[in-house]
Amino acid sequence: MILIQCDNLSKQYPNKLALDNVSLILQPGAPIALVGPNGAGKTTLFSLLCGYIQPTHGSIRILGHAPGSQALQGVLSALPQDAALDPNFTIASQLQFFAQLQGFNKTDAKQEVIRVLELVELSDSAQAKPKSLSHGMSKRVSIAQALIGAPEIVLLDEPTAGLDPANAKKIRQIVKNLAGETTFIISSHNLDELEKLCDHVIYLEKGQLQQSVSIKASQATDFITLTMQTCDMDKLHQQLLSLINVIEVKRSGDEQYVIEYHKQSGFELESQLLAVFNEQQWQYKAILKGRTLEETLFS
Ligand SMILES: Nc1ncnc2c1ncn2[C@@H]1O[C@H](COP(=O)(O)OP(=O)(O)OP(=O)(O)O)[C@@H](O)[C@H]1O
């Protein structure tokens, strides 16, 4: 099943080509990362997927339907970057209003509000007004709003921007908990965060699709990211190249090497590494399976 298909998608604003001939296919499943520098076109892509704006060229199908169509009501929802709550109404009453707009009757809407507030751990704040909530709590209310009706696709535009680490972690946990039933597409500048959540990454730059790749390694090869505490890095480089099954060794920081190797069933490479460290009396900080998202995108 294809979740989203964009063909030759372009969006021209009066003075700016925000999206330039983007074609991509996304499948349902684990969260998908949408990455790119400021002005790359991420919010524009979200707005097109929601049907808020129309493309200048090209087409979009979401589960076979056009964005904004009736068939997608309750199926796709979004947390906009600048989502705001109405200061005059309690959290429960405004969520209930949105549930009723989606077609829930009054009784079911009230139940749905209880359900989504539980999902974001804000049941106790149902009768609060937005002014009494912290920034992180407000963000979670907006996520609760996006979860009304258990949509199949949820677009989150910078869901953790400006949040303290504890609140950001809570939001990541909400996404993890729901990832089995909903496909999240998450735009963020925080690559570490996306790496923890996503299997697939779309990279936009100046409106063009630069990459649409799996973060997981290919079938035949794998990666280890090695961070050292104390060692002779040049000597280590030579030693790594001599190990069995190693294909390539790339230095990716002062103390870091990314090792690409032929996949094996056991832990042969890890064992070899530990033997080398032991022999040379070198200390390591981390042996990470795979490579960072930053390394995947920019190496
Ligand atoms: N309504 C608009 N009218 C004119 N230009 C716009 C409009 N909306 C966005 N743009 C421009 O289109 C480009 C893409 O903007 P967009 O907001 O999609 O980028 P973004 O990747 O979401 O950026 P950020 O990471 O800063 O949120 C930018 O140069 C922006 O200034």
Dist CA 225 CA 250 (whole Å): 10
16 lines ligand 1 (CB under 6 A): yes
- Tell how far the Cα of 158 is from the centroid of ligand 1, in angstroms: 14
What would the mean pLDDT of 44-59 be, rounded to a whole number? 96
31 lines ligand 1 (CB under 6 A): no
What would the mean pLDDT of 82-101 be, rounded to a whole number? 92
Cβ proximity of 76 and 62 under 8 Å? yes
- Can you read off the two tokens belonging to residue 259? 């090792």
Q: For the segment 15-49, what is each residue's pLDDT rounded down to a tens digit? A: 999 999 999 999 999 999 999 999 999 999 999 99
For ligand 1, atom 8, name the residue with the nearest CA: 44
Residue 161, pLDDT above cutoff 70 = yes
**Cβ neighbours for 93, distance < 8 A, ≥ 6 positions apart:** none
State the number of CA atoms in the 13 A half-sphere of 67 facing the CB. Answer: 22
- Tell how far the Cα of 21 is from the centroid of ligand 1, in angstroms: 16
Cβ proximity of 212 and 200 under 8 Å? yes
pLDDT at 289: 86
| Same fold for the pair 4-214 and 221-298 | no
The fold adopted by the segment(s) 221-298 is Alpha-Beta Plaits (3.30.70)
Dist CA 44 CA 41 (whole Å): 5
| Ranges of each domain in the chain | 4-214, 221-298
199 by Cβ neighbours in 10 Å (0-12 / 13-18 / 19+) ranks as: middle
Please state which CATH number belongs to domain 4-214: 3.40.50.300
pLDDT at 217: 56
Looking at this predicted complex, what is its ipTM? 0.97
Q: Label residue 219 by pLDDT band (50, 70, 90).
A: low
Percent of the chain with pLDDT over 90: 75
Residue 253 phi, psi dihedral angles, 5° rounding: 175, 180
For a ligand 1 pocket test, name from 11, 16, 208 the mutation site with the most ligand atoms within 8 angstroms of its C-beta. Answer: 16
- Tell how far the Cα of 206 is from the centroid of ligand 1, in angstroms: 10
Q: Which atom of ligand 1 is nearest to the CA of 158?
A: 27
For ligand 1, atom 24, name the residue with the nearest CA: 38
Torsion angle of C-alpha atoms 209, 152, 65, 189, degrees rounded to 10: -20
- Can you read off the two tokens belonging to residue 195? 């790496």
13 lines ligand 1 (CB under 6 A): yes
